[in-house]
Amino acid sequence: MQTYDWAVVLYYMWPVILIPAGWILLGRLCRERAASGASMIELREQHLTETYRTSAAMERIAAVLEKNRRN
């Protein structure tokens, strides 16, 4: 192939290359983040962990109250 042929191929292929690259770039730039820099998934995981911890504490309190109620 000649240099001219490569130039024509690149001219017609630029949308095929740039559109997916732009899509990926926009996806990374528009990703949801908190003020701390943590992603929303990380924040949800932290919230779930805290919910489990709170639930376990409440179950312990309920068990103590139930035990005291029987006495």
pLDDT at 17 over 80: yes
Q: What is the pLDDT of residues 21-52, one digit of tens each?
A: 999 999 888 877 777 777 888 889 999 999 99
Q: What is the dihedral of CA 28, 31, 33, 39, to 10 degrees?
A: -80
Q: What is the pTM of this model?
A: 0.50
Q: Identify the pLDDT of residue 1.
A: 58
CA diameter of the chain: 95
Query: Which residues does 38 contact at the CB level (< 8 Å), separation at least 6?
Result: 46
Q: Please state, in angstroms and rounded to a whole number, the distance separating the CA atoms of residues 33 and 40.
A: 6
What is the percent of the chain with per-residue pLDDT over 90, rounded to a whole number? 48
